[in-house]
Amino acid sequence: MSHRLEKGGRLIDRAKRLDFTFNGKRMQGHAGDTLASALLAGDQMLVGRSFKYHRPRGVVAAGAEEPNALLGLGEGQRFEPNQRATTTELFAGARLVSQNHWPSLDYDLGAVNNAFARFLTAGFYYKMFIQPRPFWKHVYEPVIRQTAGLGRAPEAETVDADRYEQVYAFADVLVIGGGIAGIAAARAAAKAGKRVILCEQTAHWGGRAPVDGVVIDGETADAWVTAQIEALRGMANVTLLARTMGAGVHDHGYVLAYQRLADHEPGADKPRHRLWRIRAARTITATGAIERPLSFAGNDIPGVMLASAMRDYAVNWAVAPGRRVVVVTNNDDAYRTAIALHDAGVNVRAVIDARDAATGPLPDAARTRAIRVIPATAIRQVEGGKRVTAVELCPQHGDGAEASERIHCDAVAMSGGWSPVVHLWSHCGGKLTWDEAQAAFRPDPDRPPLGHDGQGFVLAAGSANGEMTADAVLADGHAAGLGAAGARSTPAPRAETEPEAPLAPVWMMPARAGYTLRAKMWLDPQNDVKVSDIQLAAREGYESVEHAKRYTTLGMATDQGKISNINGLAILADSLGRPIPQVGTTTFRPPYTPISMGAIAGEARGTLFQPLRHTPLHDWHAENGADWEPVGQWRRPYCYRRADETREEAVRREVRQTRDSLGLLDASTLGKILVKGPDAGRFMDMLYTNMMSTLKPGKCRYGLMCNENGFLMDDGVVARLSDDAFLCHTTTGGADRIHAWMEDWLQCEWWDWKVHVVNLTEQYAQIGVVGPKARKVLEKLGTDIDLSKDALPFMDWRAGQLAGMPVRVFRISFSGELSFEIAVPAGQGRALWDRLLEAGAEFGVMPYGTEALHIMRAEKGFIMIGDETDGTVIPQDLGLNWAISKKKDDFLGKRGMEREAMIAPERWQLVGLETLDGSVLPHAALAPLEGENTNGQRKTQGRVTSTYHSPTLDRGIALGLVHRGPERMGEVIEFQGDAGRMIAARIVETCFHDKAGEKQNA
C-alpha cells in the first residue's frame, strides 16, 4: 500500500501538518506536499475513473504530465473541477472530490461500459449514433451530454471570488525552466549583462537533478542550485518567477507565462493568477523531458506509475507507492528508481529489463543491493482491479502466449525512455528531428522558430534539447545562455555522471503480443485509447497522425497527450510499416498546460469588462431615470422613465412635449472633426458627395459620405468655420471610423495635400434645444448672439456667449422642430444643461432620449445611417440625389455609383409606409411577391427599414425600400408579419409631418 516513509522528503516540512478531506474522508499531509503526494501518503492511490470505460484510475506521474489525478477542488465561489493533483500544492482545509463516477469512486455504475469495451473501440461514435435518426435529438444527445466530461461544472450563477491580472515584461533572454540547464543558462546570460527572466512552473528550483543525486562542481545538486538561485536573486538584471509556467511562444518573441500566486493560499488578498505577457529577444526552453510509459497489458491499473515519478515521490515527499515494487524498463535510468526505493527501505522485487543484457554502473548498483535484475523479459500483464496485485512475466521477444513467472507486488514502475519537452520550441514553427539512439524527437537546431529578421529566436537547452546525462545537460544550458546573450565562451559548471548503456526502443511488450493483450495495453489512460485502437485506425485508413489522433482521441484529453503521443505514433508507424520520423507528430499548440479563464480575462470584468464611454451629462441621466441604450461603447438614454411609466409611455411623453413646447437632447456623442488647411476645401469636396468648398463661413450644409464603392456610409452637418476650416459632424458610431478614414486618405493617397484633421468629439458637450419654445429659453439665459429668425436663419451657426459660457450655436434640426444645437466645452456641459433645465422649467422642459430622437426624425422622413443604409444602399436609393454634386470631377464613390447595377431603374427606393389599420409594421418586414427567383427564394418587392408608433400622428409609420417606390404613390402592398400574417400598407411620401418645414424654419 502507498505510505509515508519515516525519514526524508526534501520538500516537506514534517513539523507543519495540514488537514484536508478527500470525498469527505479526513486526511492529513505536510506543508510542501502536493495533493497527489498527500493522497499517496494516506494510501489513497485510486483517484478517479477514466473517461470512456470508467476504469479505476490512480496517480501515474509527479508533474504536469499527469493524466488521471484530476480532482474537484474547493467549494462555492472557489470550486474548480479538473485540478491536477500532482501540480496543486496542499493547503490547510483543502476539500477534494474525485470525478466521473456514480454513485461513488469505489463503486461506479459507469464501469458497465467496460463490459462493452469490445464495441466501444476507437471511432465507435462515428458508427454507432447514425441510426435511428430521431434518436439523435432525443436519446443520444441528452445521454452523451450527461456522461460527457470529467469534472462537474461550477453552479450556473457562481461568480469567481478571486481577482486576476496581467503584466507586460521585457527581457533580453527569457529562460523557461528552473532545472540545472535553465539555471546555468540564466546565470551565463545574466553574467554577460543581459536582462534575464527565469521562470519555473513548480514552487521549487532544481528540477530532476537533486532527486537523481547529481553532483555539480563538487557539491550536491541541492547545494549548487541553492547557491545559484541566491546569486541570481542578488543580480539587478534578473527577475526570478517561481510557480510560473511558460504557456506559449508566439511570433516575434512574444511569450505568455502563467503565474499562480495564490493557488497555494486560497483567499489570500492578492491576485490568484497573473498572466505575464513577455517580449524577449531570445527565449531558452529548458523545459526538461517527460518519461514514456511502456505498453503492456494492464498498464493502466492503479499502482502502475512512471519510474521517475516513483523516485520523485520517495525523495521529494518521502512517499512510497507500495510495499513490494517491480520496475520494468528498456533503459538504464529506471534503475535509479530501484536504487532510490531500496535505499528508502522499500522492497524492490525485481527490475524487468526488456533489453537482452543489463550492464553498466546503474544495473550493477542495483545488483549490489541484491535487487533481482531479469533481462530479455517483458511484463505479460498486470493483475488487479482497483490496485495492482501481481505481474506476469514472459520473454520480450515472443507473443506472450504463456507466463514464465508471476511476482506478487502492489506497484509497478515503468520506463520506456524519455521524450524531450519540445512544445515551446514547436509552437512558433520550430521543427524536430528523430534521434534514433534515444528513440525520441528533439529540436532540430537548423530549423528553429524564426523571428522578423529571419533569425532563430528560441534556443532549446538541456533535456529539452535531447541531452539526457547531467554533464551534457549543464554544458548545454550554459552554452544556450551564452548563445542567447551573444557572449564569449566561458567555462561551464561540471557534473559527475555515470555512463549509461543505450536504451532499446520497445513500443509493445512483448514484441509480438496478440490482440487480447494489445486490447489491454493503454496509451492514453484519460481518454481510454489502447494500442489496439491505433492499429484499428490504421487499418481503417486513418493514416495521417492528425487523423489517427482525432479518430481515436489519443492525446486529446486535458493532459494533451504528454505521456501518450509518442507511444501512439510509434504504434501507428509500425502499423503502416513506416519509419517514425515519417509519421511525425501532431501539432503542438499553446498553452502547454491549461491556464485559467481568469488569467486570460485579467482585470477585465464587471465595470472593467469594456470601456464604457460617458458623456459629460451622464450622471444627470443616471440620476433621472435614464433607460440606457448601447451605441457602440457609449451609453445614451433611450428614454427617461418616470415612476410607473413603461418605455412606450415615456417615449410618447417626450415626443409630444418636445413638439408642443421644449425638449433637450444630449447630442455629445456625435462626432466633431476639424478639417483645416489650405487644401481643406479640396479635401472636403473629395470626401462628401456635396460641393462643400462653396459653403460660406457661418453656414451649415447636410452632407453625405460614400465609400469607394459608392455606398452611403455616414451623414452629418458640416459647418464652415473659416476660409480654411470646416467642422464635420458624424454619426455617433461613425466618429472614430470617419476620423480614421480621413487620416487614411491623407497619409496614404493625398499625402502632399495641406490638410490636418483633428478629432474634437470629446472637446465639446453638445445639447439640442428643441421645440417651439427653444429660442425663448436661450434668450432667457442671456446671450450676445442675435438668435432671431433673420439674424440666425435655419442652417446657420454663430459663436458667442450663452449663460456666461463660450458656445457655438448651430441652427440645425433632426426633429423638424425649431432647434438649436449648442456646443460648449465639455467641462461646462453639465453647467449649461442645469441652466437650461432651470430656465426651461416654465416651458415644461423635458429631456428626451434616443428613441424619441429616432421617432421625430422618421416623422420627417430623415434617414438614419444603419437603418436606411446597410452597406448596399446608395444616396440615389434614398431620394438624396440633390446632395450629389454634378459639378465635381471626382469624389469618393462617384465612379462606384455610376456602375450598371447602381443606375438600374429596378433598384428599390425609399418611400413612406402607412398600414391601413394604423398598426406598426414589424422590423425588417418583407413585402413578398408570387413566385421564386433563380436562387429558389421567394420573390420580394420591398422591405421596412424603420418603423415606429408615431405619437404625433397617433398611428404606425414606417420608412422602407420598395421596388420603383416613388412611382407607386398611393398603391397598397402587403408586408409579412408574424406567423405568415399579411399586413396591408399604403405607399406614401417619406415625410409624415409638417411637409412645408414651417416649424423648423420658425
Partner 1 sequence: MREPVSALPGARYSGIVTVAEGGLRGMIVLRGDLASKPLAKAVKEATGQALPGTRQIALGKKGAVAWMAPDELLILTDHATVGTTLSKMEAALAGEFVTLADVSDARAVFTLSGAAARDVLAKACPVDFADFPVGSLRRTRAAQVAAAIWRSAAEEFTLVCFRSVAPYMWDLLTTLARPGGEVGLYPAEGAGTPR
Any alpha helices (H) in 358-458, and if so which ranges? 361-368, 423-427
**Cβ 594 to partner 1 shortest distance, Å:** 23
CB of 247 to partner 1, least distance (A): 17
The dihedral built from the CA positions of residue 652, 658, 659 and 661, taken in this order, carries a sign that is positive
The one-letter code for the residue type at 899 is: R
Q: How far is the CB of 233 from partner 1 (least distance, A)?
A: 11
Q: For residues 486 and 827, which CB has a smaller minimum distance to partner 1 in the complex?
A: 827
Is the Cβ of residue 613 or residue 949 nearer to partner 1 in the bound state? 613
- Cis peptide bond upstream of 591, omega within 30: yes
Nearer to partner 1, 756 or 776 (CB): 756
- Identity of the residue, 281 or 513, whose beta carbon is nearer to partner 1 in the bound complex: 281
Q: How does DSSP assign 685-708, residue by residue?
A: HHHBSS--TTPPTTBEEEEEEE-T
CB of 851 to partner 1, least distance (A): 22
Q: List Cα–Cα distances, 670 to 262, 626, 658, 1001, in angstroms.
A: 46, 19, 20, 23
What percent helix, strand, coil does the chain show, rounded to 5?
25, 30, 45
Q: How far is the CB of 271 from partner 1 (least distance, A)?
A: 5
Q: With respect to partner 1, which residue has the nearer C-beta, 148 or 236?
A: 236
For partner 1, the closer of residues 196 and 382 by Cβ is 196
Q: How far is the CB of 504 from partner 1 (least distance, A)?
A: 49
Least separation in angstroms between CB 516 and partner 1: 58
If the CB atoms of residues 146 and 607 are measured against partner 1, the closer one turns out to be 607
Q: Minimal distance in Å, beta carbon 713 to partner 1?
A: 23
Least distance between partner 1 and beta carbon 728 (Å): 14
Least separation in angstroms between residue 167's CB and partner 1 is 5
Taking residue 597's Cβ as centre, other Cβ atoms within 10 Å add up to: 10
User: Distance (Å, rounded) from C-alpha 252 to C-alpha 250?
Assistant: 7
- 756 vs 968 by CB, closer to partner 1: 756
Name the grid cell of 275. 498572466
In the complex with partner 1, the residue whose CB is nearer, 237 or 389, is 237
CB of 267 to partner 1, least distance (A): 11
CA distance 361 to 499: 7
DSSP state of 136: I
631: left (phi over 0), alpha (psi -120 to 50) or beta: beta
| 3-class SS letters over 783-833 | ECCCCCCCCCCCCEEEEEEECCEEEEEECCCCCCCCEEEEEEEHHHHHHHH
Residues that bind partner 1 (CB under 8 A): 163, 165-170, 195, 236-237, 239, 268-271, 274, 277, 279, 602-604, 607-608, 610-616, 634, 674, 676-678, 754, 756, 758, 760-764, 803-806, 825-828, 830-831, 834
Counting Cα atoms < 13 Å in the Cβ hemisphere of 240 gives 20
Task: Specify the residue, 270 or 995, whose C-beta has the smaller distance to partner 1.
Answer: 270
Q: Which CB atom, from 431 or from 756, has the smaller least distance to partner 1?
A: 756
Q: What is the spatial distance between Cα 836 and Cα 815, in angstroms, rounded to a whole number? A: 19
Between residues 636 and 854, which has the closer beta carbon with respect to partner 1? 636
Q: What is the number of H-type helices and E-type strands within the chain?
A: 26, 52
716, β-bridge pairs = 703
Q: How far apart are CA 997 and CA 860, in angstroms?
A: 9
Q: How far apart are CB 748 and partner 1 at their closest, in Å?
A: 15
We find the least distance from the C-beta atom of residue 130 to partner 1, in angstroms, to be 47
805 bridge partner residues: 802
Q: Would you say how long the chain is, in residues?
A: 1002
Nearer to partner 1, 131 or 607 (CB): 607
CB of 760 to partner 1, least distance (A): 6
Distance of closest approach, residue 800 Cβ to partner 1, in angstroms:
14
495-496, strands of its sheet edge to edge: 219-220, 215-216, 495-496
Q: What is the rounded distance in angstroms from the CA atom of residue 185 to the CA atom of residue 179?
A: 10
Instruction: Write out the DSSP string of 575-636.
Output: HHT--HHHH--PPP-S-SS---HHHHHTT-SGGGSS--B--TTHHHHHHTTEEEEEETTEEE
Nearest Cα to 347, choosing from 294, 300, 405, 410?
A: 410
For 125, the 3-state DSSP assignment is helix
User: 304 or 823: whose CB is closer to partner 1?
Assistant: 823
Inter-residue contact 363 to 370 (CB < 8 Å): no
Q: For residue 60, which phi and psi values (nearest 5 degrees)?
A: -110, -35
By beta-carbon proximity to partner 1, the closer residue of 345 and 827 is 827
Q: Could you give the count of Cα atoms lying within 13 Å of 896 in the half-sphere of its Cβ?
A: 18
Q: How far apart, in whole angstroms, are the C-alpha atoms of residue 810 and residue 699? A: 9
Region of 794 (left: φ > 0; alpha: ψ -120 to 50; beta: rest) is: beta
